[in-house]
A and B are shown apart, each in its own frame.
Chain A
Amino acid sequence: MNPDMRRYFVLLGILTVAVSQCLGNTSWNTANAAYAEGKFEQAKVDYVQLVDSREYSAELFYNLGNAWFKLGDQGRAILNYQRALILKPSFEEARVNLQTALKLVGNDDPKTIGDSLGAYADYFPVVASASFWTAVFCLIGALRKRAPYATFFGFVSIMAGILFASSLAVCFWIGSGLKDSNRALVIESATDLKYGPAITARPVESLQIGQPIRLISERGDWTFCRANTGNLGWILSRKAERVVP
């Protein structure tokens, strides 16, 4: 490739990135402006476009949740607040709005330990990794003959080993946590978990808006899933949406 051609392709690449970045900013600003003017439907459409272009961010899902809330769809608002919190567990505004929306739909189910830990599913591998390497390096220090502070290194190695084993166990237990691709939330009211994939099937239990379920398989308009109470059953697919988009 001659130098002129190479320069041309580099310039084209830079231009493409700049334009896409600029368009992204524009959509974000446009959506925010629409929201500020009270045009929640338009804001929602703009935010959904950003989501469809896979430009995920906690702030985007938070704003989308707000737009759904203003449009009166508490189920989808809860879903998007949850998404925002998955991407940024310390997002206090999203937590407050999620509580408000849950309260509004009457969902006062306490969070399970698994869900609470699942929000920090990405932190445990970091802890496990750091403690593993600390344990290994300190073990080398402890096993070396005539090494200074061998006892100290041995102690640190044991403690780091225990921490590693504990965090690894938590990692295995919670798996992908809230980022589990089969995790979904109920987004519509009057949702029954049924014994079979039919309207006439008798219900196993009633599900509330915002209640998490685990999707297992799909058949037509119906999805086989497990509720957080442990019950298995079928729900209409449109009444739940995956948390990971």
Chain B
Amino acid sequence: MNRFLAFIICLFGIFESALAEPSISSSLSEAVTDIDHPVQLEIKVENARITRPPTVSVNGLSISFAGTSTRTQILNFQASSITVFTYIITPAREGIYEIPPVEVSTGGKTYRSAPIILKVIHGTTSRSAAADKPYFAELVIPKESAYVGEQIPIELRFYFNQRIRFEPYPQGQYPIIEGEDFVTKKYSEPAEKQVELDGRVYRVAIYKTALTGVKPGKLELQSATQGFLITTPFGPRGSQGLPDPFESFGQQAVDVKTNGGSIQIKPLPLADRPADFSGAVGEFTLTATAQPDKVKTGEPVTMNVEIKGLGNFDRMGQPTLTSADGWHIYQPTEATETMDELGLNATKTFSFPLVAERPLTTLPIARFTFFNPDSEKYVVLKSSPISIEVQGDLILKAPVPGPTAAPSTPNQVKTTAVPDVLDIQVKMPLPATFTPLIEQRKFWIAQAIPACALLVLGFGLWWRNARIAGRPLRALKLERRALQKRIKSSDSRSEILQVAVRLLELDLRLQSIRKREKPLSLDECLSGERLPTEIRNELRDLVEARSARIYGHHGTESLTEEERSRIIILLNRWKALMCIPHHFYSPAVWFSPRRNKNGAGETGPAAGRARAL
């Protein structure tokens, strides 16, 4: 045991001797804070035994000692001890404070930390102040000043307690920044991440955009607001990592507002501004290429001028082409390829169609001017000369319409063609209307044509079907008409009797067709009792007389006028019966017994008359 203790003591002795050179450093938890919002100052002393905390005092700041921690570490057989003194600094008023160097003395030497700066501002919502809230937001502006036209990337951070679920509300809505005299780019899709602040875990939605001041002066951004639909759990927090199935949630729409901010927007300097400056602010490089490298006069060459860098690509004008004698320059096309989500870092390519008017050996030189906000100077970029072989004869310069014919300046800085439009129309215009077609009368008149055709077609089909269906009826009617004529004209007794019976059968047939019922034979009809007895008897007599005439050869051959009229009267009465409504004298009900008022069968004087036949 004693040996072991001796070994440990010996080991400490070795480590002590192996300690490295002492050093001291200080750091702040936040470099910028608000009034009354404390920050933490740590003074770290390495490889020196200091037990008493150094004194730190700054006028305007309340600094109180919070504690000491010591640790020893061995790294690559190099032992080191670290003592950290922690202080809490609470600012009392706004300003920029320098925390002076802290001195420690050990081994006869004095060591000193570097001074650090704490900026205290007023009126902002720092994270610490809002840390107790379930959600808060901050507007992060990286610069305090910028130039007109310069794009300043800004971030809007919305913090939510990790227990809160959130989503933008309404969906697709982006934050609205309050203020004037600036424009912003389209927001990128919000990023989400998790951060820890003062021991609390937050989920942060980060919206990024770029802001551009449009006129000089102080640009005040009052705040940025974004609506969220948040879902908050009720009740105390359960075990971490284990979801509580019985936990209930409340949902509400809230507007989360950030702090404000300001940026000083400086005007672009007028001094030394090149004539061809077109508004590009940032830092760019220029390269030029051309295709093909061998052409004939009059043939097109495409010169691609590539502007690459970081800046306001959406506001920059096209480069100018200088030393362009002998070249006819057309309006370029533009293409922008962005490298970041906001489009600040990008490559913009201008493709100039050029036509050589005479044999040449070099292409025009591209010249691009921009303002560099870092160096605060205008920078002129020029492409290196590009060789080309143009062969052929001199061709006449094509007339350029309107303002495209830009005059060349004495210093040979030739501006490229200003966009122009195609010429006017001179032929007599055709009248037209803004009234939508479906509101125009002609459209509906046009619809009437097929509608009428449809009606005609429908009517035609119906007519055709009706004619086909009525064909048997018509034939029966024709036969009936012919028989009626014969009954009046013929004198042959047997013929008239036959015709009369045939008429009875025809009437029955017609009746069944009209009423769409099963046709009855004459015998069936006469055997029923629904027919008035008198008529029935007369009809039976008629049928029997006809049969007797055909098969028995009884009676006289010629017919008297009295008999003819009696047959005609009988047929008329029969016909009248046929016209009686279906429900009363329908052949279907003739078979059911029908009685007169006294309950007896009908009899009458006509029975005797029919029997005489």
Contacts and interface: CB of A to CB of B under 8 A. Distances in A.
Contacts of A28: 428-429
Interface in B178-236: 178-180, 183
Contact residue range for chain A? 35 or more
A21 B115 CA distance: 90
B108 interface: no
Nearest to B420: A100
Interface centre among B172, B424, B428, B430 (most CB of A within 10 A): B424
B426 interface: yes
Contacts of B437: 121-122, 125-126
Given A103-B419, A202-B176, A63 B424 contact: yes
Nearest to B432: A87
A60 interface: yes
Contact of A59 (B315, B429, B461): B429
Interface stretch (B61-69, B443-451, B547-555, B561-569): B443-451
Chain A residues touching B, majority SS: helix
A140 B455 CA distance: 12
A179 B422 contact: no
A41 to B, nearest CB: 15
Nearest to A245: B434
A103 B336 CA distance: 14
Contact of B425 (A63, A101, A121, A177): A63
A142 to B, nearest CB: 14
A113 interface: no
Given A103-B419, A202-B176, A56 B432 contact: yes
Interface in A113-148: 121-122, 125-126, 129, 133, 136-137, 140, 144
B183 A206 contact: yes
A88 interface: yes
A203 to B, nearest CB: 8
A223 interface: no
B461 to A, nearest CB: 8
A58 B424 CA distance: 11
B419 A104 contact: yes
A66 B421 contact: yes
Given A93-B425, A96-B422, A97-B421, A56 B434 contact: yes
B423 to A, nearest CB: 8
A213 interface: no
A140 B436 contact: no
Contacts of B142: none
Interface of A: 25, 28, 32, 35-36, 55-60, 62-63, 65-66, 69-70, 77, 83, 86-88, 93, 96-97, 100-101, 103-104, 106, 121-122, 125-126, 129, 133, 136-137, 140, 144, 171, 176-177, 179, 202-204, 206, 230, 244-245
20 contacts: A28-B428, A32-B426, A56-B432, A58-B432, A59-B425, A59-B427, A62-B424, A65-B421, A87-B432, A87-B433, A93-B422, A93-B425, A100-B420, A121-B436, A122-B437, A129-B446, A176-B436, A179-B435, A179-B436, A206-B183
Given A28-B429, A56-B431, A59-B425, 18 more contacts: A25-B428, A55-B429, A59-B427, A62-B425, A63-B425, A66-B422, A70-B421, A97-B422, A101-B421, A104-B419, A136-B454, A137-B450, A137-B454, A179-B436, A203-B180, A206-B183, A244-B434, A245-B434
